[in-house]
Structure 1
Amino acid sequence: MNAREIRPAGPRGPRLSRADTTRADRLTRLAGTRLAPLPGTALLVIGCGTGRAALLLAAETGCAVTGTDIGAARIATARRRAARSALGVRPEFHTADATALPFPARSFDQALMMEVTSRLPDTPGRRGKRAVLAEAARCLRPGGLLLLADPVGAGGAPAGAPGARPTTRERLPALLDAAGFDVLRIDDLTALTGEPAAERYTGYVMITAWSRVARVT
């Protein structure tokens, strides 16, 4: 299979239950299918928000989830949700900048980033898309999987989407390559997610990539 091929999600994807009432849960379950973590797999969720995706994946796969988000209030909510859950192994949540994660190199088997890079500038500095992808590569063990789900556009900030900085679908694989990843699969999820909406974006992609090297800085 050509790793650069962009394919629509088709019949080989998971069957979506009627109980999947939210777009976020549908994306999370599809991400879980692509990563296919085993019980005990160390999964890092970067930009976890209030923990919904992290808790869902922990409940349905049995993997050991660690979530990070720069928002302290969101992390507090995620911790409360974890404390109320019936999970045997509850996810851990940390307040952290995605470009400076508080973990040793090669700490995780897999990483998930949903709608994170689309909010960062495409700059060479320590606050942009390149920096967050390089940090994900540092935290992954060689051969670890990264799943990236993001809206794409023509570059720049689309009208009606304050704070959004999506890049093009061609640029994302190049950024991943520069960070030390080989792209394994690109799914076009525009129809599934309902993007583009109100001309905010041109589409939505989910990229599965393999860490060919753990970058230690």
Structure 2
Amino acid sequence: MSITFRIAIAADDQSRPIATLNARQLAAFRAFLREESVRSATVLLDPDAAEDAFLSYHFEARVCPLALASIARVFDFQTDAITVIEEAQFRSRRVSVYRIEETGKINMRVALTSDLGLELDLASGNAYALLEGLGLRPDSVGEIPIDTMRARLANPAVRRRAGELGVAAYLDRLDQLLASAHADDTSRLEWA
């Protein structure tokens, strides 16, 4: 088991827009992402495994580095697809493409993953040690306001305790993750 630390905002608690794609649009989107990845020397498709049928229907894609108009063309300027992509770009998030096995529908929605993929995914034992090092209860699910977490990370005693527990290396990654957070009252660090 693992625990992922990520930034969450109030919009994550509400329903996110969903677009339904057809197989041609999905294939065109994957081809477009691969071409743009080569052109820009940036990984846009995660994971990228064309030979694996499951992964070809279940992936996340970076859309923030791309022009909305160029992506919209791939989806024939379909309104719901443009809405999802625009929302992902506005929130600096990836899009998630997944297939619903019962119906065979292919959906795309705004992912919980940040555009740059800064989330911190740790094995449960390391995550619990990190939480203890931060002076938090080692629960598998929790949240804390961004400002409160930044204050904890600025405390030398917290950094010393994290070093004693062998998780000090994760603090820099946590700092990077917190730096990506919007400065509003709804931003929080979540883990689950």
- What is the TM-score normalised by the length of structure 2? 0.28
With normalisation by structure 1, the TM-score equals 0.25
Higher relative contact order, chain-length normalized (CA < 8 Å, sep 6+): 2
Structure with the bigger percentage of helix: 2
- Decide which structure has the larger Cα Rg and report it: 2
